[in-house]
Structure 1
């Protein structure tokens, strides 16, 4: 690793891996390096989904996190750079077989297209409702050690008449094991959207800029056939610039990438796995129905409402303040996710702007045109929500109308 990158400090730790701040050894460019331990098939499936999605965005959109490279760790000090458009076959086998498989050194890599064909009959057991980054350190992930009981490949005696090159360490130890994937990405110095906005006084211009940029990112991703499925402020990173914040959609572990847009419309691609984070999940996801990319639009609606009005909540068992809209139930003021409330009552009337439970200092409430658009984005019926390719123009028009 030291020959390619230097790790300087840990900046985030979640359920699936650790993120470090680092630098490219040759250029000194600051990067974020995420280590994803390949300890079980369920985690590996998430990692491969994230890798596919990030490689598909190689055109690089300013509001989508950029992937510089991906490395496969096969030993304590052994890293292999993965070729573009290829996936490591042993990891693909681990997902298909449901067990972590070791791989001979000469096993080939598989393209995402080939794996999609083989994976048609595999059953996905993904369900992630709390993918929030933890700020306190946990016990580091343990890497998988080679099994000493494995049979060591017999060696031929050296020929006296010809000197053979020294065998590599991994050859002597037998079959390789995929210990971890390392994703090298662009570094964002502003933290996530929660940290960036809530650590500053309300700034209407910045809020509007964030909303517009997220619209542009979603249009780009849906145009590529990528449904994110876990949009929330924790998964939006911020780069600080002299002209204001530049936001980057990140964390594609739960994303799904369609083989091709169905009749040119990615909203016709349907999914069934219940995944996401409670306060941002769409009603149809809460209800266990099949859903489309329009579930992302609902998640954006929750985020936009929270950003524009500075609405926050604290999850049970946590002290971290998070941006997110909700419904208050009962006299105790129990917080209920919007998606869950709308699933229980599709005719529920949402009060936009919200009159209470906003975090001080308070920004001015959104105007009538913006409120109308938010209600459309948060509609119980997915077909009533605007599509991603319409959203940016709609948002700009509403903000412009309200400014007068």
Structure 2
């Protein structure tokens, strides 16, 4: 690894992997490096989906995270770059068989020794990372709690993220220990961190919304349905010309065949996956759904960004952007509420008191666009290819 990249510190950790800040050894360019351990066939399938989608987008859109390279770890200190367009066949075989494929010809003692060496190597890497991270925390000092006591909270019995049902991890020797994805580094954090750490700004909010329209239009034109659009999965790069937002995390994405002339895909999906507050009604209901589910997720994000609507997850003191329906002292995701009552009328803009500071409410034309994006009927939502032009028209109309 040291010959290609230098790991500096851990910057993020999720259900499936760890993200490090690093540098390219030859150029010194800062990069984000995600390590995805290949210990479970269901997780490996998500990794391959993410790799396939990111290769399809390549570096062709400024608002989609760019993949520089992918490395396959086959031993404690053995990494080899994957050629463009190629997938590691052993991992594909693992997904197809539903169990981790190992090297059957290896002696059992050799396998155990390899696993132990890998564990020790990863431990040393983690020790180094934790040391750097601890040093950074000492320099930063205590982190202030930015959440307001008036911020509504999510009830404790809600799962934050829905992923397809998976079997238990399958034990066995591993040839492919991990995939390492090397991506562009975003220094502005995710969309929650970026927007909520700053005072409300109408032009900044509209810029974010415009860029997300462009990104999703591009993805859908390639036949890519993201299926987990939310502020956590939108990263921000700070540039001299202003913030550039990037759609990231394609682990739940699906690619459709037969997309002609950049038209939207009509392929149906059936897996109930995504994150509660951003899932479309048809996903909540377990119905087959199309890429229009992404439009609903985008509508939830837009509404939250434009009106600065936030909530708290259980066990967290950090606010998150997201719109919802109030049920007494509890919150219900919009998709769930619309699944239960398709005729529910959403009040846009919000008319009840929320914690300041707040931006001015969006105008009538923008509110109409939000209502269309959040329609309970997927066919009533505008396709991604129309969002940019409709947003421009709505902003122009409201400005007059």
Task: Settle same-fold status: TM greater than 0.5.
Answer: yes
- Give TM-score, length-normalised by structure 2: 0.82
* Higher normalized helix content (fraction of residues): 2
SS of corresponding position for 2:35: strand
1:16 Cα deviation after fit: 0.4
SS of corresponding position for 2:290: coil
Cα distance in 2, alignment partners of residues 244 and 104 from structure 1: 54
Cα distance in 2, alignment partners of residues 88 and 287 from structure 1: 36
Q: Does 1:400 align with 2:396?
A: yes
- 2:55 corresponds in structure 1 to 55
The more displaced of 225-234 and 95-104 is 95-104
Equivalent pair of 2:102/2:172 in contact (CA under 8 Å): no
**What whole-Å deviation, never above 9, does each CA across 1:273-315 have from its counterpart, x for those lacking one?**
0000000000000000000000000000000000000000011
1:242 Cα deviation after fit: 2.3
Cα distance in 2, alignment partners of residues 18 and 131 from structure 1: 18
- Give TM-score, length-normalised by structure 1: 0.81
- 2:40 corresponds in structure 1 to 40
- 2:380 corresponds in structure 1 to 384
1:320 Cα deviation after fit: 2.0
Alignment of 1:321-340 (within 5 A): 321-330=319-328, 333-340=329-336
1:38 Cα deviation after fit: 0.5
- From 240, 243, 251, give the equivalent of 1:242: 240
Structure 2 unaligned runs (5+)? 106-157, 163-169
Distance 1:309 1:94, change over 3 A: same
Distance 1:392 1:75, change over 3 A: same
Distance 1:13 1:59, change over 3 A: closer
Distance 1:33 1:325, change over 3 A: same
Cα distance in 2, alignment partners of residues 262 and 345 from structure 1: 35
Equivalent pair of 2:256/2:265 in contact (CA under 8 Å): no
SS of corresponding position for 2:348: coil
Cα distance in 2, alignment partners of residues 203 and 8 from structure 1: 33
- 1:155 corresponds in structure 2 to none
- 2:204 corresponds in structure 1 to 206
1:264 Cα deviation after fit: 6.4
1:401 Cα deviation after fit: 1.1
- 2:134 corresponds in structure 1 to none
Equivalent pair of 1:20/1:34 in contact (CA under 8 Å): yes
1:268 Cα deviation after fit: 1.1
Cα distance in 2, alignment partners of residues 59 and 223 from structure 1: 15
Cα distance in 2, alignment partners of residues 129 and 254 from structure 1: 17
Q: Does 1:79 align with 2:109?
A: no
Cα distance in 2, alignment partners of residues 31 and 298 from structure 1: 32
- 1:162 corresponds in structure 2 to none
1:219 Cα deviation after fit: 0.6
Alignment of 1:179-258 (within 5 A): 179-258=177-256
**What whole-Å deviation, never above 9, does each CA across 1:117-158 have from its counterpart, x for those lacking one?**
xxxxxxxxxxx96359xxxxxxxxxxx9985xxxxxxxxxxx
- 2:257 corresponds in structure 1 to 259
SS of corresponding position for 1:374: helix
1:72 Cα deviation after fit: 0.3
**What whole-Å deviation, never above 9, does each CA across 1:32-61 have from its counterpart, x for those lacking one?**
000000010011000000000000001520
Q: Does 1:97 align with 2:97?
A: yes
Alignment of 1:1-400 (within 5 A): 1-102=1-102, 130=160, 147=173, 177-261=175-259, 265-330=263-328, 333-356=329-352, 358-400=354-396
1:102 Cα deviation after fit: 2.1
Cα distance in 1, alignment partners of residues 183 and 272 from structure 2: 28
RMSD: 2.1
Distance 1:83 1:359, change over 3 A: farther
